[in-house]
């Protein structure tokens, strides 16, 4: 096992990883920017290293500073957390080249899944169902028109380096294809420095359902069920639940099984998430995330498995301590992302928290770095707390969520707590009958 881990992140996820390390008796080093010097993970870690100024590009994304911090403190492993460099294959390569373990998948898997065209090719080889589309990258408009005849309209032009919706354009008919193709390419070039695009049939009203997988370096791979992540705004998830209210138990074990088999065939290592669109009873693989996810606690709640301690054990060469048959699913879990954002305009609301009170009680988990007096910096994403509830079934989880949201206080700034308080009483949430369009096109417009 590792002696000392460098936590290359900030915020609630840095604290999440820190707690896992402490529980395992592993020494911790936290890095931080000047803006985060007073943060809770910095106070709680065994050691801390200031790696640069507030701007992420000069601190949390500064690879030489991070690797130097690991070297001078004598770490033997690096945990990248969520976001920042967690899916940067070059960072993983450099960490490994410096004799440190990277707590995550192998760099080649990160690289492969970062290229969405490659990701689809390996997913198909591993037996996952794809959205019908171009067999690979599409380089010319003539090629696009030819392929589009077979795919049909409406279709999407997507950036190979994309994700998060950037560089994605809809073409409703053949006369819109040229404009969609060239604007997707130029947007992709500007955002990612890569103008490679591919085509997919456009699904007009899908759900976003993702499957958590985990694999060790001894050939064992299992799935830990799915998460329903359709409640989102501008590709930012706000509310996630597990299991998905849309699936039957048969569909659930089917998609889980094929995801676990694919993970094993790929020789994947560590935790990962396979993202699917689900529409009219069918699953379509779209992307794979090669990192821990923000919403991992809902999977932890229903499985009782600690994803971060498992991640660390796997990176140290450990064997998965459970088989697929030993993974059991209990009850229902929901996560609300509480952001320092105005609940209607979604403008960030950084500043000093004068008063903080967390919800509590049975089945309630709060992952946060908040404390009364904490100054929410304006430089980073606005997630300030994750509220996770677990109940015996979906109605029980919703009842616990409603109560927890009543108890939760963050003052004086507006936060998305108020949005969640309205959300829990929405009909579509009560029934579980929503798609990726529901929040933006129905809930937020009413
Ligand atoms: C799609 C789609 C419909 N049809 N692909 C958006 C981000 C990227 N990760 C994939 N995305 C989508 N791909 C096909 N063929 C609709 C979306 C999409 C979406 C997907 C998941 C969660 C929220 C979304 C919001 C808008 C569009």
Q: What is the pLDDT of residues 50-88, one digit of tens each?
A: 999 999 999 999 999 999 999 999 999 999 999 999 999
Judge residue 219's burial from the number of C-beta atoms within 10 Å of its C-beta, 0-12 exposed, 13-18 middle, 19 or more buried: exposed
pLDDT at position 164 over 90: no
Is the shortest distance between the CB of 155 and ligand 1 below 6 Å? no
The CA 210 to ligand 1 mean position distance, Å, reads 12
Q: Which atom of ligand 1 is nearest to the CA of 436?
A: 23
Calculate the CA 320 to chain-centre distance.
22
User: Which residue CA neighbors atom 5 of ligand 1 most closely?
Assistant: 202
For 207-443, CATH number?
3.30.470.20
Active site (catalytic) residues: 291
Where do we find the tokens 């821990």? 292
- At 286, list the tokens: 């779209």
Check residue 251 and give its pLDDT.
97
Across the range 177-193, mean pLDDT stands at 94
The CA 314 to ligand 1 mean position distance, Å, reads 31
At 137, the pLDDT band (50, 70, 90 cuts) reads very high
Check residue 56 and give its pLDDT.
98
Is the shortest distance between the CB of 188 and ligand 1 below 6 Å? no
Residues 6 or more apart in contact with residue 35 via CB below 8 angstroms: 53, 54, 377, 379, 380
The CA 5 to ligand 1 mean position distance, Å, reads 36
Q: Using alpha carbons, list the distances in angstroms from residue 324 to 53, 118, 192, 282.
A: 45, 28, 38, 23
At 396, the pLDDT band (50, 70, 90 cuts) reads very high
Check residue 165 and give its pLDDT.
79
Percentage of the chain beyond pLDDT 90 is: 98
The domain spans of the chain are 4-103, 132-201, 207-443
Q: Using alpha carbons, list the distances in angstroms from residue 55 to 23, 60, 135, 349, 375.
A: 31, 8, 40, 18, 16
Q: Using alpha carbons, list the distances in angstroms from residue 304 to 126, 147, 253, 443.
A: 28, 46, 18, 33
Across the range 192-210, mean pLDDT stands at 96
pLDDT at position 210 over 80: yes
For 132-201, CATH number?
3.30.1490.20
Is the shortest distance between the CB of 167 and ligand 1 below 6 Å? no
At 154, the pLDDT band (50, 70, 90 cuts) reads very high
4-103 against 132-201: fold identical? no
Is the shortest distance between the CB of 200 and ligand 1 below 6 Å? yes
Residues 6 or more apart in contact with residue 249 via CB below 8 angstroms: none
At 266, the pLDDT band (50, 70, 90 cuts) reads very high
Across the range 191-216, mean pLDDT stands at 96
Q: Cβ atoms within 10 A of the Cβ of 328, count?
A: 10
Is the shortest distance between the CB of 240 and ligand 1 below 6 Å? no
Check residue 390 and give its pLDDT.
99
The CA 438 to ligand 1 mean position distance, Å, reads 13
Q: Across all residues in the chain, what is the average pLDDT?
A: 97
**Under DSSP, is residue 93 helix (H, G, I), strand (E, B) or coil?**
helix
| Topology of domain 4-103, CATH | Rossmann fold (3.40.50)
CA distance 300 to 227: 11
At 162, the pLDDT band (50, 70, 90 cuts) reads confident
């Amino acid at each position: 096992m590792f002696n000392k881990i460098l936590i290359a992140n900030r915020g609630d996820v840095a604290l999440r990883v820190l707690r896992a390390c402490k529980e395992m008796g592993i020494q911790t080093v936290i890095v931080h920017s000047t803006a985060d010097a007073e943060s809770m993970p910095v106070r709680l870690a065994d050691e801390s290293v200031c790696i640069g100024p507030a701007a992420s590009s000069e601190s949390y994304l500064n690879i030489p500073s991070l690797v130097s911090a690991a070297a001078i403190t004598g770490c033997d492993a690096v945990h990248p957390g969520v976001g920042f460099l967690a899916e940067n294959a070059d960072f993983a390569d450099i960490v490994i080249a410096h004799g440190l373990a990277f707590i995550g998948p192998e760099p080649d898997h990160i690289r492969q899944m970062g290229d969405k065209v490659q990701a689809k090719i390996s997913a198909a080889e591993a037996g996952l169902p794809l959205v019908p589309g171009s067999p690979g990258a599409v380089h010319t408009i003539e090629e696009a028109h030819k392929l589009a005849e077979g795919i049909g309209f409406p279709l999407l032009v997507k950036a190979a380096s994309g994700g998060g919706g950037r560089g994605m354009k809809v073409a409703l008919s053949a006369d819109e294809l040229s404009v969609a193709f060239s604007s997707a390419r130029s947007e992709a070039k500007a955002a990612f420095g890569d103008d490679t695009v591919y085509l997919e049939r456009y699904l007009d009203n899908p759900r976003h359902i993702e499957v958590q997988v985990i694999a060790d370096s001894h050939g064992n791979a299992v799935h830990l069920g799915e998460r329903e992540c359709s409640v989102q705004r501008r590709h930012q998830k706000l509310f996630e639940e597990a299991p998905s209210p849309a699936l039957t138990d048969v569909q659930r074990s089917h998609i889980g099984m094929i995801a676990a088999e694919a993970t094993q065939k790929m020789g994947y290592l560590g935790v990962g998430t396979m993202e699917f669109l689900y529409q009219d009873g069918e699953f379509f693989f779209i992307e794979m995330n090669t990192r821990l996810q923000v919403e991992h606690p809902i999977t932890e709640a229903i499985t009782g498995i600690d994803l971060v301690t498992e991640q660390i054990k796997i990176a140290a060469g450990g064997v998965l301590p459970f088989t697929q048959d030993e993974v059991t699913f209990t009850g229902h879990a929901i996560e609300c992302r509480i952001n320092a954002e105005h609940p209607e305009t979604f403008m960030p609301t950084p500043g000093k928290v004068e008063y903080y009170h967390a919800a509590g009680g049975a089945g309630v988990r709060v992952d946060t770095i908040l404390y009364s007096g904490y100054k929410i910096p304006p430089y980073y994403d606005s997630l300030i707390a994750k509220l996770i509830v677990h109940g015996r079934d979906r109605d029980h989880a919703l009842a616990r969520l409603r109560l927890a949201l009543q108890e939760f206080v963050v003052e004086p700034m507006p936060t998305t707590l108020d949005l969640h308080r309205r959300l829990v009483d929405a009909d579509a949430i009560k029934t579980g009958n929503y798609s990726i369009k529901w929040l933006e096109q129905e809930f937020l417009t009413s």
